[in-house]
Amino acid sequence: MTTVEEVLGRPDQGVERKATRVAVHTFRPRRSWPAVITGLAILMVAVVSAAEVISALAGSPLRLIPVGRAGEFAATTTWSQPSVQIASAVLALIGLALIVLALAPGRSRWTVLRTGDPALVVGLTRPALRRAVSAAAQEVSGVEGAHVVVRGHRLRVHVRTGMRTSEGLAEEVTAAVERRLEELAPLRSMRIVTHVRHAEG
pLDDT in tens, 147-169: 999 988 899 999 999 887 778 89
Asked if pLDDT for residue 48 goes beyond 60, the answer is yes
Residue of 125, 129, 131, 127 whose CA lies nearest to 108:
125
Residue of 38, 36, 65, 61 whose CA lies nearest to 49:
65
Q: Is residue 56 part of a domain?
A: yes
DSSP assignment, residue 142? T
Shared domain check, 133 and 78: no
Residue 29 confidence (pLDDT): 67
Asked if pLDDT for residue 72 goes beyond 80, the answer is no
Q: What single-letter amino acid sits at 122?
A: V
Residue with the larger pLDDT of the pair 7 and 181? 181
Per the structure, how many domains does the chain have?
2
Shared domain check, 69 and 126: no
Q: Is residue 111 part of a domain?
A: no
Residue 178 confidence (pLDDT): 93
pTM: 0.57
Asked if pLDDT for residue 201 goes beyond 80, the answer is no
Question: What is the dihedral sign for C-alpha 11, 12, 16, 19?
Answer: negative
Segment 105-132 shows an average pLDDT of: 82
Q: Is residue 151 part of a domain?
A: yes
Q: Which of 77, 103, 129 is the last residue of a domain?
A: 103
Residue 116 confidence (pLDDT): 78
- Give dist(CA 148, CA 127) in Å, integer: 9
Shared domain check, 179 and 124: yes
Segment 50-57 shows an average pLDDT of: 79
At 41, the pLDDT band (50, 70, 90 cuts) reads confident
At 64, the pLDDT band (50, 70, 90 cuts) reads confident
Return mean pLDDT, the chain.
80
Q: Is residue 13 part of a domain?
A: no
Residue with the larger pLDDT of the pair 4 and 37? 37
The most distant pair of C-alpha atoms in the chain lies apart, rounded to whole Å, by: 89
| Full residue range of the structural domain in which residue 37 is found | 33-103
Residue 18 burial (C-beta neighbours within 10 Å; 0-12, 13-18, 19+): middle
